[in-house]
Every structure is written in C-alpha cells, then in structure tokens.
Amino acid sequence: MILSPKISLKAFVALLFLLVGYSFISFSQPQPIATNTTTEQHVEGEKKKIDVKEIIFGHIRDSHEWHLFSIGEFHATLPLLVILYNPAKGFSAFLSSKFEEGEVAYEGYRMINAKDVELDKNLVEGKIVAVDGSKVYDISMTKNVVSMIISLLLLWFLMTGIAKKYKKNGINKAPTGWQNAIEPVIGFVQDNVAKPYLGKHYLKYMPLLLTFFFFIWINNLMGLLPGGANLTGNIAVTLVLTLVFFVVMLFNSNKYYWGHIFNPPGIPLGIKFILVPIEILSNFLIKPAALAIRLFANIFAGHTIILSLMCMIFIFGAMNQVAGYSASIFSVAFSVFMFFLELLVAAIQAFIFTNLAAVFIGQAIEEHHHDDHAVDTHKSNS
C-alpha cells in the first residue's frame, strides 16, 4: 500500500522515458516529419530505421526463441520448443526455428511476424496462429517459461544444497559459503516479515513466503542479465503468484475475517451498506490486484527505462554521429545508475511482495474478539 518515495520517483521517471520513447516512436511512424527523417537516413548512408518500440517491446515481451545477440544481419537466437494444442488436431510439438521468423507455415500453424503487424495493427508479433484460423492453445516453452524453469532449478540446487549442509555439519558449526549468504536472508524473512504479521502461526507460512521471496528475487536478478527474460515483469507470472497467495489466504482465513467483511462489528446499519461492498472489493480484488500489478509494473518499468536509455544512443546516432557518441556518455551513465537501482529494486520488490502477502494473510488469520470488551482488551494489549 505504501510505496516508498524512491519507487514512486522511479515510476515517474519511467513515465517520462516512456513519453520520450513514444515521441520517438511516433517519429518513426509514417507521419510527415518522420518520413522525412527516414528518407534522409536512407539517402545518407543506407542506415536501418530504428524502431524503438520494436527494440524495447521485443526485449520485454515473451518470445518463442531466445535472442542472445545480433551482429549486423546475424541474429544469434536459440530456438525453443513450441507446444500447441488444437481441439481438432491434438497436440503438436516442434522447434520454433521451423517457422523461420514467421516466413513459413508448419503443421498448419504460423507465427505472426513484423510484416503481418504492419498490415493489421491488431495482430501481435510472435503469436502463433492456425493457418485455417481455428482456435489454438499455445503452451510453448517460451523464453519466459525456460527462464522460469532455470530459475527454479537454480533455487532447487541452491536450497537443497544448503539443507544438506545443515544436515551434514549439524547446527553447531558456523555456516559457510551459500549457506552463510542465504541464512541471513531467511532469518530476515522470518524475523521481519513472518513473525510480526503472522504471530504464533508464522512457521506454517514460512515455506510459502520464502518461495515467493526467493523466486521473485532470483527472477528479478536474472531479468537484469543481458539476454535475460523479463519474467517478473510479465503480468501472467505475477498473476499466478498472487493467485497462489489468494488461495492460501482464503483457505486459512477464519470467521473473524469473514465477519469483518460481511458484517463489520460496531458499525451502524446504514454505513454497512456502503462498507460491505468496499470491504468485498478491497479483499477480493484490490489487495490481490495491487500485489500483482505492483511487481509487474515495477519490473516492467525498470526494464523499459534501461532499454529506453540504451535506445537513445541509437536514436541520436541515427540523427547525427556526434550526437550519438555524446548521448552515449549520458545514456551509459544513466543506465549504470539504473542497473544499480534495479539491483536494489529486485530485492525490494521481492521483499514488498512477500511482506504484503504476509500482512494480508495475517489479517485473514488474526484472532479478533469483537465483543463489548473489545476496546478494553485492545487497550490492555497495546
């Protein structure tokens, strides 16, 4: 609920850069001024048109291939497994390289490429559709899925290794290596997140909170690596995390929680008619949505800012070479700063998600005693 000033500042900066970015994108679109510049470029030296939107969203968006780097016309990409389900045809699985960048149809499916998008703006580049237009369920191993599986494997080897170390060394030996690095983090989650909000039941929720924290953190960090997937900046991922939290919260909620929503104690009947819908909205929509959107938007914005800063070099470079070089100084300085900020944000967002999940679960399992003595007991407790 409470966003730190740093994060809201970041959101503002992101907005600014998005606006700047969009203004450049609009330049590159077929508008009177834009066409002038692009034609000039073509005349000057056969330079490629810089499509900022394509560059930024190409990096942020999920993809059926893992693009590593490009040198000129050579694109180093890793084809990924495409898995499709069609009620009529059943499952089909093949590598995404079969589509040849959307040029070729394969097994009756084809991938939408940039040319299709130019013809029909409603289409999304990289989506797989059936040639005959029938419904397709795309459950491919996309870049994000592969990245997520790698992150889970990393977590698995890291954490089970640590668990083994505890078993091997016993509890009286000082922790070493990864064990030493992770232990304070676990202690932090336990002492600063779980214990204050969940009270005496905290141990029951510790595995979930730790999984949330480390999953988000490791994926935030992996997203910052060059060529990394923007997993936590994807709404589907944050939505799943939130749904898991939501299910856990509802399954563990007690009667006081439900009583508080549908029959708030100590409130006149007239106000209840206003308050109950607000409570329902707040508990079943706003709380989970806030969790999901906060994480998604923060990571998404961070990636966008860094990519925008990088794109500025090429935008200025396309205008004038000197401008490009001088812009690169500022762009690189700013992106280094943003990278450090994002490293911080990676941990902060993991913490905030975990913390808020703990707070909301804590509210759902809290043992209220709203009787006539409620005021007295509250006073004596405080």
Partner 1 sequence: MDLLLPDFGLFFWMTLSFLIGFFLLKKFAWKPILQALSDRENSIAESIATAESMKIEMSNMKNENELLLNQAREERSMMLRDAKETKEKMINEAKEMAKEEANRIMIEAREQINHQKNAAIIDVKNQIGTLVIEVAEKVLRKELSNKAEQNNYINSLASEIKLN
Q: What's the angle, vertex CA 327, arms to CA 323 and CA 328, rounded to 5?
A: 120
Tokens of 340: 């450090």
DSSP string of 134-168? Answer: ---EE----HHHHHHHHHHHHHHHHHHHHHHHHHH
Binding site for partner 1 (CB under 8 A): 57, 60-62, 83, 124, 137-142, 144-145, 148-149, 152, 155-156, 159-160, 162-163, 166-167, 171-172, 183, 186-187, 190, 203, 206-208, 210-211, 215, 234-237, 239-241, 243-244, 300
Smallest gap, in angstroms, from Cβ of residue 359 to partner 1?
A: 20
Smallest gap, in angstroms, from Cβ of residue 234 to partner 1?
A: 6
- Pick 51 or 62: Cβ nearer partner 1: 62
Q: What's the angle, vertex CA 213, arms to CA 210 and CA 215, rounded to 5?
A: 100
Tokens 């409603």, located at residue: 122
Smallest gap, in angstroms, from Cβ of residue 140 to partner 1?
A: 6
d(CA 128, CA 114): 13
Phi, psi of 298 (to 5 degrees): -65, -45
- Pick 7 or 216: Cβ nearer partner 1: 216
Smallest gap, in angstroms, from Cβ of residue 340 to partner 1?
A: 25
Smallest gap, in angstroms, from Cβ of residue 132 to partner 1?
A: 20
Smallest gap, in angstroms, from Cβ of residue 381 to partner 1?
A: 25
Q: What's the angle, vertex CA 314, arms to CA 42 and CA 63, rounded to 5?
A: 100
Tokens of 74: 């050579």
Strand partners, 128: 111
d(CA 14, CA 20): 10
DSSP string of 22-65? Answer: HHHHHHHSSSHHHHHHHHHHHHHH-PPP--HHHHHHHHHS--SE
Smallest gap, in angstroms, from Cβ of residue 207 to partner 1?
A: 4
Residue 298: HSE in the Cβ half-sphere, 13 Å Cα cutoff:
30
Smallest gap, in angstroms, from Cβ of residue 148 to partner 1?
A: 6
- Pick 101 or 138: Cβ nearer partner 1: 138
- Pick 104 or 163: Cβ nearer partner 1: 163
d(CA 312, CA 116): 27
- Report the Cα 138 to chain-centroid distance in Å: 20
Tokens of 228: 């990394």
